[in-house]
Structure formats: C-alpha cells, structure tokens
Amino acid sequence: MDLTEKLYKETEGLPDTEKFGLFVQTRKCAVSIPSNIAEGAGRNTKGEFINFLGIASGSASELQTQIELCRRFNYVDFDTAKQLDDTIEEVQKMIYNLIKSLR
C-alpha cells in the first residue's frame, strides 16, 4: 500500500503526453500488487493464495521496468527511481518469503 501511494505521488508529474501511456500503466501495476495480495488472501486455498502472490510479484517486476523507462525519459530523477526500485525489491522479497512460508 505504501509503495502504491508513493507511486501515485511520483506519477503526478508525468507529462500530459503520457496520460494514456506510462501514467496509466504505472498506476495500474502499483494498484495490482496489493490488490492481488488481498484477493489471494481471500481465496479458499493456499494454492490459490500462492498463485495470486505470484501475480503480485509479476506486477512488481513490471513496475520496475516502468520506473526505469520513466527514468530514461527523464520523467523521474535517478535518486527517485532508485528509491522506488529499492522499495519494489523490498516488496518482492516479502512476497517471496510469504510464498516460501505457505509452501
């Protein structure tokens, strides 16, 4: 949730030309991570939960790519991109450890 909140704040500064590109896609990915974790937790089996955790992890990887694109296009500075990437990696580690504990 914190990551999603940070991403929403950072994408406020994206140019209007990205309104239907990186702006939307980045936000969708950011929302997808906690949404899939929540949906998986509400499922009936551990297997289903693990599947949704995998989807959340995939969204986190996609988000890393989008942040890198924003950096390359100079929409965010290097330090901001690094901070976001570090946060994403932390979230991915938590997801991985949760999957590991469920197996």
| Residue 92 falls inside a structural domain | yes
Residue 45, pLDDT score: 94
| Residue 62 falls inside a structural domain | yes
Q: Per-residue pLDDT tens, the chain, 103 aa: give them.
A: 999 999 999 888 888 888 888 889 999 999 999 999 999 999 989 999 999 999 999 999 999 999 999 999 999 999 999 999 999 999 999 999 999 999 9
DSSP structure class, residue 16: G
| Residue 67 falls inside a structural domain | yes
| Residue 97 falls inside a structural domain | yes
| Residue 84 falls inside a structural domain | yes
How many structural domains is the chain composed of? 1
Residue 15, pLDDT score: 86
Token reading at 93: 């580690």
Residue 21, pLDDT score: 87
| Residue 70 falls inside a structural domain | yes
Q: DSSP letters along 17-64, please?
A: GGTTTHHHHHHHHHHHHHHHHHHHHTSSSHHHHHHHHHHHHHHHHHHH
Residue-range definition of the domain harbouring residue 83: 19-102
Residues 6 or more apart whose CB falls under 8 angstroms from that of 27 comprise 7, 8, 11
| Residue 44 falls inside a structural domain | yes
Residue 18, pLDDT score: 85
Q: Which of 5, 99, 94 is nearest to 52 (CA)?
A: 99
User: Which CATH number covers residue 83?
Assistant: 1.20.1440.60
| Residue 7 falls inside a structural domain | no
Q: The pTM is what? A: 0.90
Residue 13, pLDDT score: 85
